[in-house]
A and B are shown apart, each in its own frame.
Chain A
Amino acid sequence: MSALRTSGPARAGQYLALLAYLVFLAFPFLWLLSTAFKPAPELASLHPTWIPENPTLDNFRQAFDEQPLLRAAANSLLAAVSAAVIAVAVATPLAYVTVRHRGRLAGAATGWVVISQAFPFVLVIIPLFLVLKNLHLINSVAGLVLVYVVWSLPFALWMLMGYARAVPAELEEAAAVDGAGRIRTLVSVTAPLLAPGIVATALFAFVTAWNEFFFALVLLKTPEKQTLPVVLTHFLGAEGVADLGPLAAAAFLATLPSLLVFGLLQRRITGGTLTGAVKS
């Protein structure tokens, strides 16, 4: 086996391309950060700067003063965490069973999962609204969580099926030979191997729910229940006019939880992604 060798200039080119890509990815976030700390005259400058000349916290003060950001963030957090936990709790056994017991039903279920991803949400929102109304779940975070779970479940299932497939059945058979029961095998052998996939899937469900806007807008009626993406639109006026400074400050704060969760779970996600990508 011989390792691939790259010449010095080629490696420098690779690093340069990687750096350019990272800058491209980071640009919106850094610009948001810069805008959040700029006073009004700098926001209206014809020659914008990366680093604010007179950094200020006024935009943050104004954002908190004008909108109930903390309450909205708490609502978002509750909805996103609940949706992630429930979606994973439902999708994990489903994915495992679908992978281990291959048959026509499992094939049809997988097909349906793929097809259901093609439905635009505007198609389902009105029937969904009526169903939730009959269940008295309009204007409740519980109703919103239900929607988020249903919405993220197909992709979560699909994702977890990839991870479940990568768990070798031989390991479970070996555990059975050693005398472990079905439950013991699932808990002690299968679950730890699926853990990275579960974490990655939960993160996906969390971020989807955390950023979701339209369902929250339509389903939550009272200000006390509104989530962060809905409250952020209150900084926007008619014809695209925006209260740019406070909007940037609030949007910057809104991105922090996702970044924090990603940062904390990064290692597990990377492991999970690799685990799912390799076929046994």
Chain B
Amino acid sequence: MRRILALAAALALLLSGCTAGGDGPDDGVVRLRFQSLAWQKESVDANRQLVKEWNAAHPDIQVEYVQGSWDSVHDQLLTSFEGGEAPDIIHDASDDLSDFAYGGRLADLRPLLSERLRADIPARSWETTTFGEGVYGVPFLQEPRVLIANRKILESSGVRVPTPEKPWSWSEFRQITQDLTRTMGSGRYAVAWPLKEPVSVSLNLGVSAGGRLFHRDPDGRVTVDFTASDGIVPGTVHDQVVSDRTAPRTTLGSGGSDTLPGFFAGKYAMVPLGFAYRQQIAQQAPEGFAWTVLPAPAGGEGLAQGVSPQTLSIAEDSPHKKEAARFLDFFLRPANMVRLARGDWMLPTGTAALADPSLHTARDGWATGAAVAEYLRPAPAQSVRGYPEWKDKVATPAFQEYYSGAIDGAELRRRLVEDGNRVLARYQRR
């Protein structure tokens, strides 16, 4: 019994030592918490270094770097907001902000941001973080989808290699995948579509062909319509998998990383991936493997495609919004934005940062991405209330079945429009 009591006492002492203190000493120093979602070593290093530089230069405003995770950021922020314990500065993606913005959790940045920062980032990027009248985040990194191609297969086949100035059209892309597959031999495919998350790929690439899917009435009400333009990109993918057999059915349920072994082994000549995947390819590709970055095919709207940039926001509950905004202004100076972009292998939204020569080199396909940057638009679903439910319950299964050939285009349209509008209507009742 004495031993049990001793153990309990030791435990109590141990736990009392683990209890958090207050919010810091009352020494007049403003302390800000910055929750970053950077995860790759280069990116984390860049973030930490910038925080260190800020702290060295601003002893009266100290920023604490807190590591968050993309995997769980929404739930974690939701709980933190409800509990009044949210970080002062929040890293997230623009398509995750709408609920927090409309819910009054994020500060309207319009009166807080410097004129330099507002002028540096193009209006089309600001649109991704504008909800109602306010601006609730600074879009600072963005990622187009590109075609990562096996250079040897592409060059030996003799097909025209596209450039941002002269990209493939969607119909040309389909034809070229037929030609490529013929030259590659059996069991090999011109393109592998990793469509584990088929909705954002379909919608965002669909912008190039004039796809919009979501239509906003003058009174602000959003409805889904599926026009001929909306069907061009999904139709191309469907035909490549189902009728042309230029894309394997097996990768439809895969994530981007899952397709890389087949890509490295020469089983697929091209893989449509996010721009940041280049880092994985650079790290994992076997020695001597030659790869190149091509722009995604273009449609009636050229190289346009939808993106949801990474953002930095300030919590409405933060007692130090002005200081947080000053930190953002420092953090997103052009030179710093370049460091962050290179760390994440993504493109900066700021025009001054985007002009940096290091982002226009041919090496690792930076130049192709930089050339595409000016065509990037807000993702079609941006700020549509009810989109997450529409995506999960209606669009994801519909696109998956359509791409695998289980349903036809008419049924895809019916589900997206009829079932989809029923879902959206619930969110727009007055």
Contacts and interface: CB of A to CB of B under 8 A. Distances in A.
Interface of A: 40-41, 43-48, 62, 65-66, 78, 82, 85-86, 89, 122, 125-126, 129-130, 133, 136-143, 145, 187, 213-214, 217-218, 221-223, 225-226, 230, 233-244
B186 interface: no
A183 B44 CA distance: 58
Contacts, number: 132
**Which of A65, A225, A234 neighbours the largest number of chain B CB atoms within 10 Å of its CB?**
A234
A202 to B, nearest CB: 12
A264 B241 CA distance: 53
Nearest to B16: A142
A214 B277 CA distance: 28
B267 to A, nearest CB: 7
B148 to A, nearest CB: 13
Contact of A218 (B79, B93, B256, B264): B79
Given A44-B284, A46-B262, A126-B83, A241 B256 contact: yes
B83 A130 contact: yes
B8 A136 contact: no
Interface of B: 1, 4, 7-8, 11, 14-16, 18-20, 22, 33, 37, 39-41, 44, 64-67, 69-72, 75-76, 79-80, 82-85, 87, 93, 196-197, 255-257, 260-262, 264-265, 267, 274, 276-277, 280, 283-287
Contacts of A142: 15-16, 18-19
B255 A240 contact: yes
**Which of B33, B85, B255 neighbours the largest number of chain A CB atoms within 10 Å of its CB?**
B85
Given A222-B64, A241-B257, A125 B197 contact: no
Contacts of B85: 129, 133, 138, 221
A138 B20 contact: yes
A141 B255 contact: no
A237 B261 contact: no
A122 B398 CA distance: 29
**Which of B18, B84, B256 neighbours the largest number of chain A CB atoms within 10 Å of its CB?**
B18
B31 to A, nearest CB: 11
**Which of A65, A143, A239 neighbours the largest number of chain B CB atoms within 10 Å of its CB?**
A239
Given A126-B83, A218-B76, A223-B67, 15 more contacts: A41-B285, A43-B284, A44-B264, A46-B264, A82-B14, A85-B7, A129-B82, A138-B85, A143-B20, A217-B76, A221-B33, A221-B87, A230-B69, A240-B196, A241-B256
A82 B11 CA distance: 7
Contact of B82 (A126, A221, A239): A126
B75 to A, nearest CB: 7
B193 to A, nearest CB: 15
A43 B7 CA distance: 46
Q: Is the interface of A mostly helix, strand, loop or mixed?
A: helix
Contacts of A187: 1
The 5 A-B residue pairs whose C-beta atoms are closest, nearest first, are: A46-B265, A233-B69, A141-B18, A129-B83, A44-B284
A234 B277 contact: no
**Which of B8, B19, B264 neighbours the largest number of chain A CB atoms within 10 Å of its CB?**
B19
A147 to B, nearest CB: 13
26 contacts: A43-B284, A45-B264, A46-B264, A66-B41, A66-B44, A82-B15, A85-B7, A85-B11, A89-B4, A126-B79, A126-B82, A129-B82, A130-B82, A141-B15, A141-B18, A142-B15, A142-B19, A143-B19, A221-B85, A221-B87, A223-B65, A226-B67, A234-B67, A236-B39, A238-B93, A239-B256
Contacts of B286: 41, 44
A239 B195 CA distance: 11
Contacts of A145: 15
Nearest to B83: A129
Nearest to A66: B41
